[in-house]
Amino acid sequence: MNRESWIESSITSHESRINGIMAWQHIFINPQRYILRSGWRVAIFFIILFPLATVLGSIVGLILTGGDPNKAQAYFGHPLAMNILNLLSTTSALIASVVCLRAFDHLPLRSIGYQLHRGWWRDYLIGTGMAAIMITVIVGIEWLAGAVSLSQSNVPARDLLYGLGISFVFFNLAAAFEEIAFRGYPLQTLLRDMRPAWAVIITSSLFGIAHSLNPHASILGLFNTILAGIWLAVAYLKTRNLWLCTSLHWSWNWTMSAIYGLNVSGLEGIVKTSLFASQQTGPEWLTGGQYGPEGGLLVTVVISLSALLLWRARWLAPSEDFPLGHGSWVVDGGSSGESRITNHESRARRPESEN
């Protein structure tokens, strides 16, 4: 081999190695923005979130129980203790969001969707009322069909009001945690690198899988939970904040359990007192059986119709004074039903003093 051939061969080999390295690098790095790909950022978010929530919960549990297993069992069944655990979980989700937003996206925490912008309370009240009506419609249809019996609970008024108040806090904290954990950083990060449909399907599937180990889980219950994730994601896409999806989430669970005394996603006894006592007597495919209404076909229909209503709603729109948020896709619910892109990354990255 002459010198020229050897040099040419060396250059070709070197270029091949570089191309190989670049190909591997592109698995982790977005070449257009030169930032860690969204899937890896979401994975890191969950790697931070769940161990942190476990550690914080364990530490507080040890402090309050003194390490006594007997006390621990009683402690974790107490409503106030459950609210503390929910608060710790929500705090963990916020911490994980802050770390990832600052490290990867250089955005403030408020970009996640909980800023008290003009009209935030409107989104909150709309979601609260809509979810309460949806559950009432479901229970009403089951009652008319003879699939559920309702009777007023014999709980003293003072205990009932206390229970409703405690469960109000409980479900708001639980909803905030799950919305931050799924429709917060994960959904909004994926929206920056892929089409909305894929981002919604991925995060909604994760949402469903997270509930798949609940007691009395079923295939239909899992499907309905994924569908609920899509419904809540649509609420985010229409408003670009978490107030609407959080209020839909908490009110759905609270009305189901604290008002009608039904199981929530297979979990029994979350609420100790409820306005009504319910007994499901109809077929499981309709009522959901021990999993609760979310395991029944009626919920499939109602959530699907509600998601379609939100998608087409012209009266839902992002607030003008709300920072455009972390995700870069904006949904246009106009007559065409198509999605469009609004490039607001520059606004989201403005100095905090300007936001």
SS3 323: coil
| pLDDT at residue 81 in the model | 80
Residue appearing with tokens 């009240």:
125
Please list the alpha-helical segments (H only) found in 66-100: 69-75, 79-100
| pLDDT at residue 254 in the model | 97
Q: Give every CB contact of residue 323 below 8 A, 6+ residues apart in sequence.
A: 110, 111, 115, 347, 348, 355
Q: What pTM was estimated for this model as a whole?
A: 0.83
pLDDT per position in the chain (355 positions), as tens?
A: 565 565 555 555 555 554 554 455 567 676 666 678 889 999 999 999 999 999 998 888 777 776 666 666 666 667 788 888 899 999 999 999 999 999 998 899 989 999 888 889 999 999 999 999 999 999 999 999 999 999 988 888 899 999 999 999 999 999 999 999 999 999 999 998 889 999 999 999 999 999 998 999 999 999 999 999 999 999 999 999 999 999 999 999 999 999 999 999 988 777 888 999 998 888 999 999 999 999 999 999 999 999 999 999 988 888 765 544 444 444 443 333 333 334 333 333 333 434 3
Asked if residue 13 lies in contact with residue 20, where contact means CB atoms within 8 angstroms, the answer is: no
219-239 and 297-312 are packed helices; what angle lies between their axes, rounded to 10 degrees? 10
CA-CA distances (angstroms) from residue 19 to 15, 16, 23, 253?
A: 6, 5, 6, 52
| pLDDT at residue 61 in the model | 77
| pLDDT at residue 332 in the model | 40
Asked if residue 100 lies in contact with residue 185, where contact means CB atoms within 8 angstroms, the answer is: yes
Map out the domains of the chain as residue ranges: 1-28, 119-348
| pLDDT at residue 331 in the model | 41
Asked if residue 227 lies in contact with residue 294, where contact means CB atoms within 8 angstroms, the answer is: no
Q: How far apart are CA 230 and CA 303, in angstroms?
A: 9
| pLDDT at residue 350 in the model | 37
- For the CA atoms of the chain, what is the radius of gyration? 24
Please list the alpha-helical segments (H only) found in the chain: 3-28, 38-65, 69-75, 79-100, 120-144, 157-178, 185-190, 196-210, 219-239, 243-254, 284-287, 297-312, 345-348
* Measured torsion, CA atoms of residues 314, 318, 319, 321, in degrees rounded to the nearest 10: -140
| pLDDT at residue 198 in the model | 95
